Amino acid sequence: MTDVLRNECLYFAALDASGEWEGVLPLVRVRAPLLGHYLVSMPFLNAGGPVGTSPARAALADAAVAEAKRSGADLVELRARDAVPGDLRLSQRKITVSLPLPATAEALWDAFSSKLKSQIRRPQKAGFDARFGPEHREAFYEVFARNMRALGTPVLPADLFESIAVRLADHVVFGVVYRDAEPVAAGCGFVWRDSFELTWAASLREHSAAAPNMLLYWSFMTHLIGCGVRHFDFGRCTPGGGTHRFKQQWGGADVPLPWAQWTSRNVTAPPTPDRPVFRVAAACWRRLPLALTNAIGPIIARRLP
């Protein structure tokens, strides 16, 4: 967050009377002209709020609010997996979908509907194949950047994923679906203990008829089963949206993301693409050359929490 995105990181610790640490909270300051001033844990991710004992987590939330008041932040958003103790406002604008993984890929396949199986077989029959490993990071970013432009959204810098690959080498997984040598769908996510979250995923629209995204998700699941992972988290989405419905078809369960918020100006969320002004900007962004969006997109994206 600091070295690549140039955002200020604040680190809070809650101590008991004897000075022992009872909890911690990393907080990232994201500030952009016209877009606002935010304190978030963690930008781009779905968890990372205060951890520790219940009293410690409540004290850390209070500390985050105090810092927001001191520095004039528009919004504090603590993106925790579990409800943060205290009286902060609860945001329910995002959920995730979680799927338990069996011990074998065969057991997972048997649990799928015939329709889902046929969608996975389609790219397999067309000769698409999935590959995993850090050596596929650049191919992942190629697909990711092209898809973000198609969505009309600035792309995160390539340096961020390079830093993740080095600093979190034991936890990050890059996967890419290829048609011959061409990457056509790709994902990146994190393993923690026996769980995995697919944080970023993308596929090229010109290959959508062959459904390479279906092979991508299936291949991630089978790869992770082989690594001993037992829970597959599809990443956050908006309830009822198309992405939500895509994730539900795999048989997982909706899981609320109880993010805690405090605001001084009745701000309900950081900048989101559904605002009218952003819809206009997105339409223009899609018309720009890829080289240009890859050059200026990261400058903008680093200011969007």
pLDDT digits (tens, 9 = 90+) for 171-188: 999 999 999 999 999 999
**pLDDT tens track for 266-288:** 888 876 655 665 677 777 877 88
Taking alpha carbons only, the member of 212, 207, 204 closest to residue 124 is 212
> Does 297 fall in a domain?
no
pLDDT above 90 as % of the chain: 78
**For the chain, what is the mean pLDDT?**
93
> Does 27 fall in a domain?
yes
Taking alpha carbons only, the member of 259, 255, 257, 235 closest to residue 246 is 235
Number of structural domains found in the chain = 2
Same-domain status, 217 and 107: yes
Same-domain status, 12 and 131: no
Sequence-distant (6+) residues with CB within 8 A of 300 are: 154
> Does 232 fall in a domain?
yes
> Does 122 fall in a domain?
yes
CA–CA gap between residue 197 and residue 191 (Å, rounded): 7
CA–CA gap between residue 77 and residue 41 (Å, rounded): 7
Same-domain status, 245 and 265: no
Q: Are 29 and 10 in contact (CB under 8 A)?
A: yes
Same-domain status, 60 and 18: yes
10 Å Cβ neighbour count for 266? Answer: 7
> Does 288 fall in a domain?
no
Same-domain status, 119 and 67: no
CA–CA gap between residue 129 and residue 126 (Å, rounded): 9
Long-range contacts made by residues 269-277, C-beta under 8 angstroms, separation at least 24?
269/75, 269/77, 269/91, 269/93, 270/30, 270/35, 270/36, 270/38, 270/40, 270/75, 270/77, 270/304, 270/305, 271/35, 271/36, 271/304, 273/151, 273/152, 273/153
Same-domain status, 100 and 74: no
> Does 190 fall in a domain?
yes
φ, ψ dihedrals at 194, nearest 5°: -105, 20
Same-domain status, 101 and 87: no
The CATH code of the domain that includes 210 is: 3.40.630.30
User: What SS3 state is found at 197?
Assistant: strand
**pLDDT tens track for 82-99:** 899 998 999 988 999 999
Same-domain status, 61 and 110: no
Please report which confidence band the pLDDT of residue 195 belongs to, taking 50, 70 and 90 as the band edges.
very high
Our CA dihedral for 231, 232, 237, 242, rounded to 10 degrees, sits at -130
Same-domain status, 127 and 74: no
User: What SS3 state is found at 63?
Assistant: helix
Query: DSSP class of residue 245?
Result: H
User: What SS3 state is found at 71?
Assistant: helix
CA–CA gap between residue 60 and residue 66 (Å, rounded): 10
> Does 58 fall in a domain?
yes
Write down the H helix ranges in 133-211. Answer: 137-151, 158-167
**pLDDT tens track for 6-47:** 999 999 999 999 999 999 999 999 998 778 899 999 888 888
Please report which confidence band the pLDDT of residue 294 belongs to, taking 50, 70 and 90 as the band edges.
confident
Sequence-distant (6+) residues with CB within 8 A of 305 are: 28, 30, 38, 40, 43, 44, 77, 270
Same-domain status, 27 and 14: yes
> Does 148 fall in a domain?
yes
Residues linked to residue 197 through DSSP beta bridges, in sequence order = 190, 233
Same-domain status, 264 and 189: no
- The terminus-to-terminus CA distance of the chain in angstroms comes to 11
Residue ranges making up the domain that contains 81: 8-92+257-270
Same-domain status, 100 and 231: yes
pLDDT at 266: 85
Burial of residue 217 (number of CB atoms within 10 Å: 0-12, 13-18, 19+):
buried
CA–CA gap between residue 67 and residue 65 (Å, rounded): 5
Kindly state the tokens that stand for 49. Answer: 């709020």
